[in-house]
Amino acid sequence: MKIFTVIGARPQFIKAAVVSRAFRELRPDVREILVHTGQHYDANMSDVFFDELEIPRPNHNLGIGGGTHGQNTGRMLEKLEELMLLERPDWVLVYGDTDSTLAGALAASKLHIRVAHVEAGLRSFNRRMPEEINRILTDHVSTLLFAPTDLAVSNLRNEGVSDEKISLVGDVMCDAAAFYKTRGRKPIWFDTLRLGIDEFVLCTMHRAENTDEPDRMRRIFQGLEKSGLPIILPLHPRTRAKLKQANLKLPSNVYGVDPVGYLEMIWLEAHCKLVATDSGGVQKEAYFNKKYCVTLREETEWVELVDAGLNELVGFDPQKIAEALQSERQFLSGTYLYGNGRSAEQIITRLLTIAGGEDATNRSVQD
């Protein structure tokens, strides 16, 4: 059987690393064709992840990135269709909610190739977010939907998706956290900042609804400044460019650094006081590292974290941001929200069950 995996952005590299490793260990007879669209083309946002996560180098690298959503998606569609016709896969596997996700799903569905969507059913209910459109459309053209949570399953059912298409498997990010937790790496620049362990806030910001709005971005930085806490901000290329475009300078208590690799990010998350972010993936990484999270958005697709009192939505209100960062909220240990760390195994079992018979698949995976 041949699996055609489409990836293009940091969160997808992490998720694909988990599932690709499981394929190699559990079913080496399955051939995986790895396609990198190039959506994250910066070496610090792409190459370093393949090295650190021990992902095989892509079979194909499309080199598509840097354009608008429409430009990127259209160019990816064209190139992915060509490759799918060449490779003739049994399944196309897509992750998350990026332009790469949507392009892979659309190209496959139009060629009548089965699509499996990992991290299906998430909804922020904010259709101004490009990611929300991407994940809704991807879910509705997919053959198999691998949902990370009960709420994701409910969202799909509420949209009329049949139960036969839905599999509750947990979150592959939980698998990744379990595998890589002891491999964190302190950034070489950390000691030069002279910050203590558990004394700094780790912040990330890259979403278009924040970075494309100069006033919103300005208000977020006002809140970070008002908190008075030392803040480490790995600067996503989008954020760096938008800061320059808006003629904004970082507050004196915000240390802007280059993007970090996954292993460095794990170390920073494990050793920070708390996390502030507009990233969906980093919200979960904070949870896996037992750190309270302040989310720089007005909604989140990871509602479970808010309901459990582990995440606070503050939007872009400077006062709310400052107060949330200054509060001494502690992480409250609770039940497992995102599975048992064996999501990749369940994904493989389900894929191969449909492809080749349930009994044979279960024996091969369990053995």
Tell me which residues are annotated as active site. 206
The span from the CA of 225 to the CA of 218, in Å, is: 10
The span from the CA of 267 to the CA of 183, in Å, is: 8
Residues 6+ apart with CB under 8 A from 104: 6, 35, 37, 76, 80, 92, 94, 115
Distances from the Cα of 215 to the Cα of 53, 221, 366, angstroms: 37, 10, 54
The span from the CA of 214 to the CA of 217, in Å, is: 5
Distances from the Cα of 241 to the Cα of 150, 236, 292, angstroms: 38, 9, 29
**Helices 99-110 and 130-141 sit at what angle, rounded to 10 degrees?**
30
What is residue 253's three-state secondary structure?
coil
Read off the amino acid at residue 10.
Answer: R
The span from the CA of 90 to the CA of 97, in Å, is: 22
